[in-house]
Structures are given as C-alpha cells and as structure tokens.
C-alpha cells in the first residue's frame, strides 16, 4: 500500500513547504512558532474534512443489514467518534495531502518575512 501512495501523491506535496535552504538565514523563534501553528491548523482542517467524508461513508452502511447484526442504536451513536478517530489517524500517518496544500497557501498569504 505504501508503494501505491508514493505513486499517487506528487513528491512536492510530501515535502514541507518554504523551509530555509542550507546556508539561508535561520528563522526567528516567533516565525518557527507561527509555522508550527499553521501546520497544526492545516492538519486539524484535514482531519475535520476527512471526518466528514468518512461520516458520509458510514451514513448508509447498515442499509439492508439485518437489525440483529447491525450493532443497534449504540453503534449509531458512536459512528461519529469512529469517523473522527479514523480521520485523525489518517492525518497522523500522512493524510491525503490536503494539510500540506492548505499549509502552503497559508504561508503564501503571510508573505515573505
């Protein structure tokens, strides 16, 4: 599966955008903190997006399944928690590339410092 993900995701999305090159001036502590906050925000956005997508996938999962084997009302209540946990795990293991794209755009909006 890792071979497939490497073939599908463009290499430029797998790298951290706008890092200073070797020999370039080091960024200040405030700039580093701002970049860390942007990275965290973009990952939370991707997790939220994926959670909604996974939730939609689960919406009609039990259609046509005998109620005796569906998990009942308790399972219905916890599907959103499962979708959220799956989304967070997906982002923690690399996600689908949305976080890096959002992060790159947020850094562009900030302009050069």
Find tokens 């925000």 and name the residue: 41
Distance CA 52, CA 50 (A): 5
| Between 32 and 23, residue with greater pLDDT | 32
SS3 call for 67: helix
In tens, the pLDDT along 46-81 reads 999 999 999 898 877 666 666 655 667 777 778 889
Residue 112's alpha-carbon distances to 14, 36, 74, 95, in angstroms, are: 22, 16, 51, 27
Encoded tokens for 20: 């200073």
Q: Where are the domains of the chain?
A: 2-15+41-110
């Amino acid at each position: 599966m890792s071979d497939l993900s490497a073939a599908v995701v463009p290499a430029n999305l797998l790298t951290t955008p706008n890092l200073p090159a070797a020999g370039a001036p080091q960024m200040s502590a405030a700039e580093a903190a701002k970049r860390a906050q942007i990275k965290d925000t973009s990952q939370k956005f991707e997790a939220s997006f994926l959670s909604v997508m996974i939730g939609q996938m689960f919406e009609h999962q039990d259609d046509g399944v005998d109620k005796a084997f569906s998990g009942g009302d308790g399972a219905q209540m916890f599907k959103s928690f499962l979708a959220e946990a799956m989304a967070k795990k997906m982002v923690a293991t690399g996600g689908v590339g949305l976080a890096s794209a959002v992060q790159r755009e947020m850094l562009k909006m900030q302009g050069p410092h």
